[in-house]
Structure 1
Amino acid sequence: MNKKIAAAGVFALLVLAPACTDLTEVPQSAITPENFYRNEGEVIGGLASVYAQLRSLDDDYYNTSEISTDEMIVPTRGSDWYDNGQWLDIHRQTFTPNSTGTLNIINGAWTNLFIGVARANVVLDGIANTSFASKATVTAELHALRAWYYFGLLDMFGNVPIATDAAIVARPQASRDSVFRFVEAELKAARADLPATWSADMNGRLTQGAIDAMLASLYVNAQVFTGTVSATGLAPGAARWQDAIDRANAVINSGHYALATDANMNCSTAGCGWRKNFTADNSSSPEIIFAIKYIAVSGLGLNFLMRALHYNQFTPSPWNGFATLADTYAAFDPADQRTQIFLAGPQFNVLTGQPVTDRQGNPLVFTPAIPDVTAATEGAGVRITKWPADPNHVQQDNGNDYAFFRLGEMYLIRAEAENELGQSAAATADINLIRARAFNPPKPIASGLTQAQLRDAILNERLFELTAEG
């Protein structure tokens, strides 16, 4: 989604918002699917609202995906971040149907994903009898976006109802395997009507490469996504390793993407090329395949910094919440240039570079250890600032895009699938390709690892490359 579509999405949301709650009034005019989608401009406005909903996935869906892992935690700091225990409920995976983590955060993820589904269905229903030049492409985008929201529902919930129209009716729960097959079929059908690339002013709209990346991720997780869950655990479904390799290859060999390196990004600081995947100008990164578009405008920017930074490290004052775990921080090789995502030790204002203090006036120091997550100090926990401050930020809103998929992950997906098929040399080569830009001098993993050892190495490399990316 480009900046024009972002603006159109906001307009669509404003004009479609209800104006009152008095249902006895007779409206003088109304915008409905039957009378709104009369031309291409109105259709693009509807499409923009479906893209705009992607931003909501960086809230509850992202928070659940990250905080439930060993990458991230939200400790209680005095009177801050307790929130009836919801954050520790998610991190400890103690959530139940009626616990605070479920009722607030997990339920929010469910709602936001299904809002995306509903918006896609409304527009698809509305354009069914409308003719316009780009109908095949827009229809493919809508089907693929709906499939992506269902990908999230499959990932987080498994069995969910499948809705393919805007009717408000009760729908039966579909099995995990059925949802998987629905997502797969929708993506494969949409691909042919999407372009390989868009012009720069359409940056963010779906491409064939984005579909291939979604399918690669779907296939590498097929055993889980199509498995059967019971009281005794997960009975895995069928593996789709070769399909994962084929879709990753489609992206890697397309010629449309390249790993961002110090050389091809024309920057001089070690690791700056990789870092360009996350800076405020990352829309120009050749590595990003599919991203949520953000701009430095109130309500349309990325606020990850606010969740992690100390109250005194940014303007406006951040929330001093999210931190990484000591074991995760310690897992990184100090020579790995990807450690630049962490803030540890004495701290500075990220805008001015000046040293900062805590609220008691002591020098602010971020320590890896969080001795008591129910009573953490202001400086407890190393912070993740993978998406650095936008120099042109507007209040808390930064213009850094958030990538769902980068080319780096395609190599890691391919490596995982290759290893499971016994192709250890190819898997090792893919891992070392990713590591080559992160170490100087190079520090490749050893050849001759067993399949189990290589599996662990791949999972570790995913941590180093993809920490905090959802």
Structure 2
Amino acid sequence: MKIFDKIRWMLTFSIAMAITVGCESILEVEPESSVSESQFWNSEADANAGVAGIYDAMQGAYSRRYFLWGEMRSDNFDAFGSAENPESLELTSNNLTDQRSSYSSWGDFYQMILRANLAIENIPSIVGGNTDPLLGQAYALRAFVYFDLIRAYGDVPLYLDLISGVNDDIFRSKTSGTEIMNNVVIPDMLKAEELIPIPKDRFRFSLSSVYCLQAEVYMHLGEYALAKEALDKLEALGEFSLVTSPEAFHSLFRREPERSGISTPQETGPELIFSIVFNQDEEPGDGAIYSLFWPGVPSYVVSNELEEKWIETFPIDSASWVAKYPDYTPSTVDEETGATIYGDYHRYLQLIESIKDIGDRRYGKYNLSNYPGSEDDVDIVVYRYAGMLLLKAEAELQMGNSEEAVNLVNRVRSARDLPGISLADYQTTEELHDAILDERQFELLAEGKRWWDLIRTNKAVEIMGPINGQTSETLLFPIWFKHLVDNENLTQTPGY
């Protein structure tokens, strides 16, 4: 059983929340509870249940969209030709439409925001108990979701107050993304740091995941010194380390059903900082990772461009490897023949679907066995130590610390049994920056980071233009047409 077994928050029994944002309309009326708000927010247990409700909403908001937004528009994946899935064709070909709610609707995110607002409004009035960490989590979660809304849509409606009835100011126009970033996201994440004392907790926001959020926000804004400061604090906690074996790497992500017979540890390891947790006993069928990355007939497959880059960087035949890396021999060997296995075994060869051709292959980071998607409860890994080290390498490079950037990349390379890089191999800072971004692409494949990396480094058009005609006019996502119908104060995202 995972995190919410005993504290699962049910709106219909725990708190009166008359207005919420749903998938079918910008705002929908939910049935009022028999427990009034004043009766609910009275104890630490109530605060704990209220914050659990934000995480519960987070599962619904992010289960599929986390990857549709952060992964599938990038050069990591292509639409599988025989699947004929409109969603995958639209995302990978840069033909997004406001008719596709799977990537253009924001209702579930505002559900999460309104629950966070409830907690932020009511927790400070609770007398007794240790509620500061819970309040800090509410601030962190609100910062997290508004940051993603800004990255996806640019300008969005802002709700910081409580919505209690249909006569409230429900149908709002957009607020500038810059204003929300400066007045909500940054203050909220700093407040979270102030209130949360817990150094790590993979299932909830802790100090470590707050530092990760701060680092991603500051890198997005080009505030490299502040990003480095946050990542220095993360390292100073001393709570995380890199795994060094192929089995341990796969165990960070993998979750198979019991009948698969897998005996190795699953969803565990010292690199995991924060994950969005799913539980088949609580939310059957809510997970989406299996249906995205390992269904029998996939909608998405690893792109030709990525596989070719991977093999060029880490050759898989002995002659090419020795020619490129004459002084480094990988330690992984074939169990049957004893021969050295060349290439990036940890992150690529052990996880790619080897029986198919390049361009038709699934990626098995989370699953290697087939089972009904309704049984999927694989966690979404949001923050991981290796990803943060590579983000710090970028920050160091942007601040002029090239040697330290190389050292950070090589810490990850060493853990993956791969040869290190040398500063002398790169003629310009831009070349080294591209190498760090490539390393993040290899390391974080299928973790929802690549599209955001391309956006914050202004490389989306450069990389995706030759692949699918990506232009600067359509870097954001369209707003679902029903939101525009329901709220006449909204305007469509520019470019759509």
Counterpart in the other structure of 2:151: 155
Query: How far apart, CA to CA, are the structure 2 residues paired with 1:390 and 1:260?
Result: 23
Counterpart in the other structure of 2:326: none
Question: Structure 1 residues 93, 33: closer, same or farther in 2, change over 3 A?
Answer: farther
Counterpart in the other structure of 2:69: 64
* Matching of residue 344 in structure 1 with residue 353 in structure 2: yes
Consecutive unaligned residues of structure 2, counting only runs of 5 or more, are 19-30, 256-264, 317-342, 449-496
Report the alpha carbon displacement of residue 248 of structure 1 after superposing the two structures with TM. Answer: 1.1
- Out of 306, 316, 322, the residue aligned to residue 291 of structure 2 is 306
What pairs with 1:15-94 in structure 2 (closer than 5 Å)? 30-56=34-60, 57-75=62-80, 77=82, 80-82=83-85, 85-94=86-95
Counterpart in the other structure of 1:175: 176
- Aligned residue type for 2:188: E
Q: Deviations over 1:242-264 (max 9, x none)?
A: 111111111122111111223xx
Counterpart in the other structure of 1:443: 419
Q: SS where residue 291 of structure 1 aligns?
A: strand
Report the alpha carbon displacement of residue 415 of structure 1 after superposing the two structures with TM. Answer: 0.8
Counterpart in the other structure of 1:292: 276
Report the alpha carbon displacement of residue 114 of structure 1 after superposing the two structures with TM. Answer: 1.7
What pairs with 1:4-403 in structure 2 (closer than 5 Å)? 4-9=3-8, 11-12=10-11, 30-56=34-60, 57-75=62-80, 77=82, 80-82=83-85, 85-96=86-97, 98=98, 100=99, 103-108=100-105, 110-167=106-163, 168-169=168-169, 170-181=171-182, 182-197=184-199, 203-222=202-221, 239-262=222-245, 271-280=246-255, 281-282=265-266, 284-297=268-281, 299=283, 302-311=287-296, 319-332=297-310, 333=314, 334=316, 335-337=343-345, 338-340=347-349, 342-346=351-355, 366-369=356-359, 381-388=360-367, 396-403=374-381
Question: Structure 1 residues 197, 390: closer, same or farther in 2, change over 3 A?
Answer: farther
Query: How far apart, CA to CA, are the structure 2 residues paired with 1:91 and 1:466?
Result: 18
TM-score, normalised to structure 1, is 0.75
Report the alpha carbon displacement of residue 284 of structure 1 after superposing the two structures with TM. Answer: 3.6
- Aligned residue type for 1:243: L
Consecutive unaligned residues of structure 1, counting only runs of 5 or more, are 20-26, 223-238, 263-270, 312-318, 347-365, 370-380
Query: How far apart, CA to CA, are the structure 1 residues paired with 2:435 and 2:308?
Result: 16
Counterpart in the other structure of 1:23: none
- Aligned residue type for 1:387: Y
Report the alpha carbon displacement of residue 120 of structure 1 after superposing the two structures with TM. Answer: 0.9
Query: How far apart, CA to CA, are the structure 2 residues paired with 1:244 and 1:341?
Result: 33
Query: How far apart, CA to CA, are the structure 1 residues paired with 2:366 and 2:215?
Result: 25
Query: How far apart, CA to CA, are the structure 1 residues paired with 2:206 and 2:269?
Result: 16
C-alpha contact 2:287 2:378 (8 A) present in aligned 1: yes
- Aligned residue type for 2:220: N
Report the alpha carbon displacement of residue 94 of structure 1 after superposing the two structures with TM. Answer: 2.1
Counterpart in the other structure of 1:361: none
Aligned-residue sequence identity (percent) comes to 21
C-alpha contact 1:428 1:445 (8 A) present in aligned 2: yes
- Aligned residue type for 2:294: L
Question: Structure 1 residues 122, 389: closer, same or farther in 2, change over 3 A?
Answer: farther
C-alpha contact 1:64 1:90 (8 A) present in aligned 2: no
Q: Deviations over 1:418-459 (max 9, x none)?
A: 1112211111111111111212xx411222222011011011
Query: How far apart, CA to CA, are the structure 1 residues paired with 2:394 and 2:251?
Result: 25
Q: Deviations over 1:252-292 (max 9, x none)?
A: 22111111223xxxxxxxx1222222123555421111111
Query: How far apart, CA to CA, are the structure 1 residues paired with 2:42 and 2:224?
Result: 44
- Aligned residue type for 1:248: L
Q: SS where residue 197 of structure 2 aligns?
A: coil
Question: Structure 1 residues 247, 323: closer, same or farther in 2, change over 3 A?
Answer: same
TM-score, normalised to structure 2, is 0.71
Question: Structure 1 residues 72, 29: closer, same or farther in 2, change over 3 A?
Answer: closer
- Aligned residue type for 2:104: N
C-alpha contact 2:67 2:446 (8 A) present in aligned 1: no
- Aligned residue type for 2:277: K
Counterpart in the other structure of 1:462: 440
Report the alpha carbon displacement of residue 179 of structure 1 after superposing the two structures with TM. Answer: 2.0
Query: How far apart, CA to CA, are the structure 1 residues paired with 2:78 and 2:34?
Result: 46
Query: How far apart, CA to CA, are the structure 2 residues paired with 1:81 and 1:38?
Result: 53
Report the alpha carbon displacement of residue 11 of structure 1 after superposing the two structures with TM. Answer: 4.1
Q: SS where residue 123 of structure 1 aligns?
A: helix
- Aligned residue type for 2:174: Q
- Aligned residue type for 1:192: E
Q: How many pairs align?
A: 386
- Aligned residue type for 1:321: S
C-alpha contact 1:390 1:400 (8 A) present in aligned 2: no
Question: Structure 1 residues 31, 14: closer, same or farther in 2, change over 3 A?
Answer: closer
- Aligned residue type for 1:452: E
Query: How far apart, CA to CA, are the structure 2 residues paired with 1:17 and 1:460?
Result: 48
